[in-house]
Amino acid sequence: MITYPPRNKVEKKYTWNAESVFKSKKAWDEEIRSILADLESLKKFKGHLSDSPATLLEALESTEQLLKRTSHVLVYASFSYAVDTTDQEAAGMQGKAQTMFGQVAAATAFINPEVLQIGKSKLDEWMRQDPKLALYRHNFDNLFRKQEHVRSGEVEELLGMLTDPLSGVSNTASMLTNADFKFAPAADSQGKKLEVTQSSIHKILHMPDRAARKSGWNNYMDCHVEFKNTLASNLATSIKANVFYMRAHNHESSLAASLFENNVPVEVFHNLINTFKKHLPVWHRYFEIRRKALGQRDIAYYDMWAPLTKKKPSLTFEQAVDMICEGLAPMGADYVEILRNGCLHERWVDSVPNKGKQNGAFSWGAPGTHPFIMMSFTGEVGSMSTLAHELGHSMHSYLTWKNQPLAYSDYSLFVAEVASNFHQAMVRGHLLKTVTDKNFQIALIEEAMSNFFRYFFQMPTLARFELETHQRVEKGESLTADSMLDLMADLFTEGFGPKVKVDRPRVGMVWSTFGHLFSDYYVYQYATGISGAHALSGRILRGEKNAVEDYLGFLKAGASMYPLDVLKKAGVDLTTPKPVEETFAVMESYIDRLEELVS
């Protein structure tokens, strides 16, 4: 049986630089106590923001510094837990950090209602008097845009206090699936056993041995099916919380409420879904090409990652970094050097699979920390691409933090997936031109299609699931494990088309493998993100004038503009279906090339 090392056996250079955030867990604990003690200092501002421009500015700057410290506490706790979910101390730290965050949210909830009471005309006058206060102009404009949905200070304080208890279901689901689930081992066609964990399942699904893929997938999903009622209850509670917040803030729907936060019209969501449904025949063609290339009579969910060549390229972490840097050379020497140094010297990346490590990959940090990455690098082209993806997030964070004040340092999820998919598009564009080995080209296109399968197939399908489940709750209908399972199975059956075998009980529980669903209407942004990414990378790969500068300007803008506006300035308009159509065209070109290579 292939097993993975315990956390304490992972070589330090492949772990995230935790000590750069806090020297020890004791120092982290002391900071929590200090933050909670400092909440008292905010009380002097309550009821006095309208006293003078100086008072308002001092309150805003004090709150920002407190939130910055809070974010460091959250990053340290969450990363400590993510890299080893079996570490009970780390699990306790995450819970403690979330509780603290709820207290901070409640203590600062008075600010927005009081700013609104000052009034826009008076604020405009104050900003003319004080350039430092004028820094917050976009935030003020955004706040007044949201005015009709902001409740009184007392109500907003209560809503802030609900942050901690209502966020608990996400943590419960994570603890269940990442720490408590014990999966039966997979077995290959020779009877060799393979350990199934959250860190290893994707490696098993990438194996050429179909017996290993099938048994690994079945055993992995059977755990989710076994606990379908608990998992469904958790997600249903999260959806009910979303609907509660929607009603508390007087929005017409949970979709409108979620998109309103970033000033994104609901038409952007519906444009995506309609364009996706229109292009389902493209996916059906790909699935059939994949079936023929694999030489199988049928194809199932667990075959979507199966290699189409017997000679799989293998890469070290360092080689992957080199390839990524080469692909991003058009971005300039400074950009590449920052990225390389982060990967190889500053320890941005926690890359080695280990027991208890959380499934998936993500980039996270805060102003004053490195933009850290958690992933499980397995030496395949797909792992290289995942690293490129997360480094896109990290470089977005790095350049935002370097060029924007704290007020605009937290860019939205809507633009986040543009930067990550941009990296992958650039690296693929370079490698498809420079590496002539047929097996590498097939592996690279497989990686591209695997990424498209996730972002341009699974995510839109999950977005349809999310919309329907929310609408049912909004209508007062109940959500049960079986109704959610049937809905998911129906949507995937439609998406896969007539030639893919759908195991309804297991495929119907796929939603439970995506923790993204606990972030309201997050998943659709992967599909809009990959669309924006290909539109922007296409400009650079075609050598369009100012394309690099426009893209760097997008990364540096952070939250200083509305997401759609900052993307328009960079050269892509996501209020129309055009970028989605363009990206389907890119995907079709990969499918054409793949069909030629494997024919």
Tell whether 95 and 190 lie within a shared domain: no
Q: Is residue 90 part of a domain?
A: yes
Average pLDDT over residues 26-32: 97
- Residue 210: give the domain boundaries: 182-224
Q: Is residue 251 part of a domain?
A: no
Q: Is residue 56 part of a domain?
A: yes
Which of 224, 256, 281 marks a domain boundary? 224
What phi, psi does 300 have (nearest 5°)?
A: -130, 175
Tell whether 13 and 152 lie within a shared domain: yes
Q: How far apart are CA 75 and CA 85, in angstroms?
A: 15
Q: Is residue 410 part of a domain?
A: no
pLDDT of residue 2: 62
pLDDT of residue 203: 85
Q: Is residue 496 part of a domain?
A: no
Highest mean pLDDT among 8-12, 157-161, 177-181, 458-462: 458-462
Q: Is residue 510 part of a domain?
A: no
Identify whether the C-beta of residue 419 lies closer than 8 Å to the C-beta of residue 555: yes
Tell whether 101 and 200 lie within a shared domain: no
Tell whether 43 and 147 lie within a shared domain: yes
For residue 586, pLDDT over 90 is answered with yes
CA 19 to chain centre: 25
Q: How far apart are CA 19 and CA 26, in angstroms?
A: 12
Q: Is residue 372 part of a domain?
A: no
Identify whether the C-beta of residue 512 lies closer than 8 Å to the C-beta of residue 359: no
Give the count of beta carbons closer than 10 Å to the beta carbon of residue 334. 9
- Write out the H or E segment, with its range, that includes residue 193: strand 193-194
Average pLDDT over residues 284-304: 96
Identify whether the C-beta of residue 387 lies closer than 8 Å to the C-beta of residue 423: no
The sign of the CA dihedral 90, 91, 92, 96 is: positive
Q: Is residue 41 part of a domain?
A: yes
Identify whether the C-beta of residue 348 lies closer than 8 Å to the C-beta of residue 52: no
Q: How far apart are CA 130 and CA 87, in angstroms?
A: 49
Any alpha helices (H) in 364-412, and if so which ranges?
Answer: 381-403
pLDDT of residue 148: 82
Tell whether 149 and 212 lie within a shared domain: no
Structure tokens at 215: 């048994």
Which of 224, 257, 282 marks a domain boundary? 224
pLDDT of residue 206: 87
pLDDT of residue 596: 94
pLDDT digits 0-9 by tens, 45-73: 999 999 999 999 999 999 999 999 999 99
Cβ contacts of residue 240 below 8 Å, gap of 6+?
473
Tell whether 20 and 110 lie within a shared domain: yes
Closest CA to 366 of 407, 339, 398: 398
pLDDT digits 0-9 by tens, 421-469: 999 999 999 999 999 899 899 999 999 999 999 999 999 999 999 999 9
Average pLDDT over residues 80-98: 92
Which of 172, 202, 224 marks a domain boundary? 224
Structure tokens at 265: 């019209």
Average pLDDT over residues 317-330: 97
Tell whether 125 and 188 lie within a shared domain: no
Tell whether 198 and 73 lie within a shared domain: no
CATH code where residue 202 lies: 1.10.287.830
Top-confidence residue, 149 or 529: 529
Average pLDDT over residues 336-350: 98
| Confidence category of residue 3, pLDDT binned at 50, 70, 90 | confident
For residue 159, pLDDT over 90 is answered with no
Mean pLDDT value across the chain: 94
Catalytic residue among 390, 417, 446, 447: 390
Tell whether 147 and 218 lie within a shared domain: no
Q: How far apart are CA 357 and CA 312, in angstroms?
A: 25
Tell whether 105 and 199 lie within a shared domain: no
Average pLDDT over residues 411-418: 91
∠ CA 364-164-474 to the nearest 5 degrees? 100
Tell whether 27 and 126 lie within a shared domain: yes
Tell whether 103 and 146 lie within a shared domain: yes
Residue type, 252: E
What is the pTM (predicted TM-score) of this model? 0.84
Active site residue 58: no
CATH code where residue 131 lies: 1.20.140.70
For residue 1, pLDDT over 60 is answered with no
Number of domains in the chain: 2
pLDDT of residue 463: 98
